[in-house]
Amino acid sequence: MIPRTLFNADHEAFRDSFRRFVEKEVSPFHDNWEEQGFVDREVWRKAGENGFLCMTMPEAYGGAGADRLYSVAQMEEIARAGVSGIGFGLHSEIVAPYILHYGTEAQKQKYLPLLATGEMVGAIAMSEPAAGSDLQGVKTTAIRQADGSYLLNGSKTFITNGWHADLVIVVAKTDPAAGEQRGGKGTSLLLVEQGMEGFSKGKRLKKLGMKAQDTSELFFDNVKVPAENLLGGAAFEGRGFICLMEQLPWERLQIAIGAVASAQAAIDWTVQYVKDRKVFGQPVANYQNTRYTLAELQTEVQVARVFVDKCCELVCEDKLDTATASMAKYWCSDLQCKVMDECVQLHGGYGYMWEYPITRAYADARVQRIYGGTNEIMKEVISRGMGLGGR
């Protein structure tokens, strides 16, 4: 295998520390969390106490000022352990960066320290019943009132961390007329807090996989959002779509990172299984089909890892472009699903049993090709980057 040069000794020490945290505070309880449909809130507080949330935020706002590779190591460990219920990545590397990059100083001071300690859980509300990958089709509105506040109305669905969320970044049209004329124009981002009158959470959604990850519907019925809760303040009114587009490369790369780590874990589990499992008097690993299948999968995952590691280098230098991130997201999530399917097959009937990690990983993997923009949308983005037209 090609040695990885992405991480230094400090990154690996952090990885070991987080792995021990997962083994002690997450894995023993994950089965129960899958049954109840959400992780216990206490694990968020423990993660915060141990410095495992918002590591890349500046120290002035409660973070560690770490580079993004610490978060990459964390994402890989979560995928390796198959503990898909904990939404640390979205909280720390999607929600918090929006506030850091676009928030006013007052917003940073108010929210980032609470996100870093786990006192607040963050979510971002983009998807709607009629607008998933098409963010320009958002129907939720936030109309400015005479006193400067915004009246927020609409609904969101498929919101990760939605049920636990204390703070939600809501994508809404503050100028619906502009949006109708020019797509993403007139879109803004609002910081909505748990407890605001008119903000309610629907049922936790039952999903094919990621069963311990709380995923909810959110409803906004004449929610009065103060002017100071417009992300970035008045200067960012109507610029929400631009902010979303700027953050998408890193968000999509995160999906690729998890996909490759999960695929490698599946191969590792399967290699051990086929060595132990006997059929017709000999280990399954002795059959040529088994060896060739795993050799092919390992080759593809190695290729994917080299590509993703390069993308990680680029994102740390702020050089990762949208088309390359889209390549990583679509190709690696497609590969993840392929690996899971082949590894389930090599497990035979046991690959269909929920008690086996490969079965859960198979179910968890399927959504990777959907969220963050469907893989079909990724191909559109890539083709446009090649200068190819489209409607």
Structure tokens given for 158: 């498929």
Evaluate whether 250 touches 97 at the Cβ level (below 8 Å).
yes
Give the DSSP letter of residue 285: G
- Rounded (10°) angle between helices 68-81 and 288-316: 160
DSSP assignment of 132-191 equals SS-GGG---EEEEPTTS-EEEEEEEEEEETTTT-SEEEEEEESSHHHHHHHTTTTEEEEE
Cα three-residue angle 371-97-69, rounded to 5 degrees: 85
The four Cα atoms 357, 360, 366, 368 give a dihedral, to 10 degrees, of -70
Spatial CA neighbour of 257 closest among 92, 68, 19:
68
Spatial CA neighbour of 357 closest among 339, 344, 371:
344
Spatial CA neighbour of 371 closest among 261, 262, 251, 260:
251
Give the DSSP letter of residue 225: E
Active site residues: 251
CA distance 156 to 206: 16
Evaluate whether 224 touches 198 at the Cβ level (below 8 Å).
yes
